[in-house]
Amino acid sequence: MNLIRKLASSLRAKLIAMFIILTCIPLITVGLVSYYKSYNTVFANSRSSSLLAAEQLSRNIDNLFDDSSKLLELGNDPNVLHYLFSQADNYSDAKNILETMASYRLTYKYDNVLNITMTNLYGRGISERKGVFQLNGNLMGNPHFAYLVRHPDEILTVPSPGWSAAERLDGFQYQNHNLISVITTVKQRVTHETIGFIIIDMDDALIRSNLNMPIQESGFFYVADESGAPIYTPESTDVSPSKWPQPEQIKAMLSGANRYYIDSSHGKPVFIFAAPFQSTGWSLVGYVPLQEIMEQAHSIRQLIIVAVALSIIFAITLHYFTTNRLTRPIHVLKKHMQLAASGYLEAKVTLRGTDEIADLGNSFNIMLGKIKLLLEQSIREQQEIKKSEFRALQAQINPHFLYNTLDSIMWMAEAGKKEQVIQLVVALSKLFRISLSKGMDFIPIDRELEHLNSYLTIQQIRYRDILEYELHIEDTIKPYSILKMTLQPIVENALYHGLKQKRTKGLIRIRGYADHQAICFEIEDNGIGMPEDRLKQLRHDLTEPHLPQAASSAVSGGFGLHNVYRRIQLYYGQPYGVHIESTEQAGTKVTIRIPQRME
């Protein structure tokens, strides 16, 4: 709603809204379509590139297996057949077999083949590394040989985790090598009966070296067996194996039309793909974060965003300078009118030109000048009224206090108390010297306290039998200023309308302290107090602008309390003033609250 209201009330906002509709929206639409098309194209190219790399790597490993598997043809050599079928030790056949093995190595350069072993069903065998040997155990106890007896036409590829050193036929121990063993049967030519086995041991470095090929920055390849479980993994990766694809996922991927999928089950999406080995039944699995696959798409997206943003900025800048000359004078005039409406009458506007808007600005300046003159005149009149009222209030207090004090001096003089009269006159002199204060309305609190102390000294001389007083004033508030003769009228009321009516010794306690940003004085007596109805009437009379004479004599506190309240209200305003609490036959407490000010 606020946006609609702003568009309806601002000329520039209307122009900008129209500009956004006609310019920015088409630019953003073109950017989104371009990003969507480029994203799909880059993803298709990256996916194809990753799958092609996996297939190429699997073909390379397949070629290595195919080349090494040519050694299985040794099982068809007549010398091998005769050696495995014969029960007698024929050293000439063994020698010929070893020479044939050496000939194969010399011809085909099998660098990855570590050993070639042949054995018959009875454990009589020959090894390239060890030569002729005889097994002591049952050969069929090995699950690989037992499986091949049942499936004589298959070729098994067994990695080192499934072919431990304890199961080696010839007992030879390889140092610094992990093996991959290719095993198949040797069959009699005529009956095709299994008479033995041929085992080719290869270094698994032919696979591990290919797994070190990186995919992007953090991707990697690993080899899974027929069930999908990993058998050859990279040397180091930051990805926990728990986040790798499960065996059933790999099998489902290889059996489907698409040999890839995107996995988002562990947070950030990952691109997973696979390529099968034709010679072993294993598969090559690739694992790479999708963000790295789509790095080019992200770069294109950033380029599109920057291009669209720059186009919008350029268009908005052009629009700004074009419309500025049209709307700026109106905007300036509106801003100064708002300032004037808030009370700032110095908000005169200066507009160049001689058109209608410039004439409107000149008329606005003339209007502000006249309003300012009228306001200054009204303020001066109000100040004079306040000053006159303050002087009248103070004039009411001074004669009232002087009358009470002179009455005390006269009483003591009649009683012949010369020393007390001298002491009283000295105190009165000091009292009026502070009261005059060179015509100042505000004095420091410590001077006001000195004035109050002089007053209490005078009254204690007169009412020695009924008056005691205590002063508890924090030193931190003494440097602050106060309207002079603020405390004395309240203390005077406590004496005359509280303790004097009690006619027994009473106590007046004056306390001063700081309260946040204010200063509080509490004048408390243990005099006769006042009933609840008289307290309510006094509180009501305090808020009256002028206290009637009848009311001033009818309520406890007199016009001195009313005048103190009015003076505080005139000079300080709310929330400062006087608050009264009283309990009949228990006493009265008057609290004065003024701000912390330095004059």
pLDDT digits 0-9 by tens, 435-474: 666 667 788 999 889 888 888 887 887 777 888 999 999 9
Instruction: Check pLDDT > 50 for residue 199.
Output: yes
Residue 450, CA distances (Å) to 2, 421, 441, 461 in order = 62, 20, 16, 17
220 belongs to a structural domain? yes
Range of the domain at 588: 380-595
163 belongs to a structural domain? yes
42 belongs to a structural domain? no
248 belongs to a structural domain? yes
Ramachandran class of 40: left when φ > 0, alpha when ψ lies in -120 to 50, beta otherwise: alpha
318 versus 154: which is more confidently predicted? 154
| Residue 515: strand pairing partners | 518
Q: What is the CATH number of the domain that holds 172?
A: 3.30.450.20
241 belongs to a structural domain? yes
pLDDT bucket at 555, cuts 50 / 70 / 90: very low
Q: Which run of H or E residues covers position 312?
A: helix 295-341
132 belongs to a structural domain? yes
User: pTM for the full model?
Assistant: 0.47
- Tell me which of 207, 233, 262 is where a domain ends: 207
155 belongs to a structural domain? yes
Q: 241 and 93: one domain?
A: no
Q: 416 and 536: one domain?
A: yes
Q: 396 and 261: one domain?
A: no
What angle, 0 to 180 degrees and rounded to 10, lies between the N-to-C axes of helices 445-462 and 356-414?
Answer: 30
The answer to whether the beta carbons of residues 589 and 596 sit under 8 Å apart is no
Q: How many domains does the chain have?
A: 3
- Closest Cα to residue 234, out of 279, 163, 157, 288? 288
Of 243-252, 296-305, 494-503, least confident by mean pLDDT is 296-305
Q: 503 and 547: one domain?
A: yes
Bridging pattern class, strands 506-515 and 467-473: parallel
Across the range 351-371, mean pLDDT stands at 76
Instruction: Check pLDDT > 90 for residue 215.
Output: no
- Tell me which of 234, 267, 293 is where a domain ends: 293
- Tell me which of 244, 269, 293 is where a domain ends: 293
Q: 177 and 222: one domain?
A: no
Q: 464 and 494: one domain?
A: yes
Q: 201 and 126: one domain?
A: yes
* C-alpha span between 456 and 454 (Å, rounded): 5
* C-alpha span between 12 and 320 (Å, rounded): 9
Q: What is the pLDDT of residue 178?
A: 75
pLDDT bucket at 165, cuts 50 / 70 / 90: very low
CB-based contacts of 97: which residues, under 8 Å, 6+ apart? 74, 77, 79, 80, 83, 118, 126
The answer to whether the beta carbons of residues 272 and 263 sit under 8 Å apart is yes
* C-alpha span between 549 and 542 (Å, rounded): 13
Q: Which two tokens stand for residue 294?
A: 């789509």
pLDDT bucket at 169, cuts 50 / 70 / 90: low
Q: What is the pLDDT of residue 164?
A: 46
Q: Which run of H or E residues covers position 223?
A: strand 220-224
Q: DSSP for 429-451?
A: HHHHHHHHGGG-SEEEHHHHHHH
Q: How far is CA 500 from the centre of its chain?
A: 68
Average pLDDT, the chain: 79
Q: Which amino acid, one-letter code, is at 545?
A: P
Q: 230 and 273: one domain?
A: yes
Q: What is the CATH number of the domain that holds 462?
A: 3.30.565.10
Across the range 302-308, mean pLDDT stands at 83
Q: 284 and 398: one domain?
A: no
Across the range 246-273, mean pLDDT stands at 84
Residue-wise pLDDT tens digits, 327-345: 777 777 777 777 777 777 7
Across the range 22-41, mean pLDDT stands at 80
What angle, 0 to 180 degrees and rounded to 10, lies between the N-to-C axes of helices 445-462 and 418-436?
Answer: 160
Residue-wise pLDDT tens digits, 109-136: 777 888 888 888 888 888 888 888 888 7
Q: 277 and 397: one domain?
A: no
* C-alpha span between 542 and 572 (Å, rounded): 16
437 belongs to a structural domain? yes
Q: 198 and 278: one domain?
A: no
Q: 166 and 212: one domain?
A: no
Bridging pattern class, strands 194-203 and 179-187: antiparallel
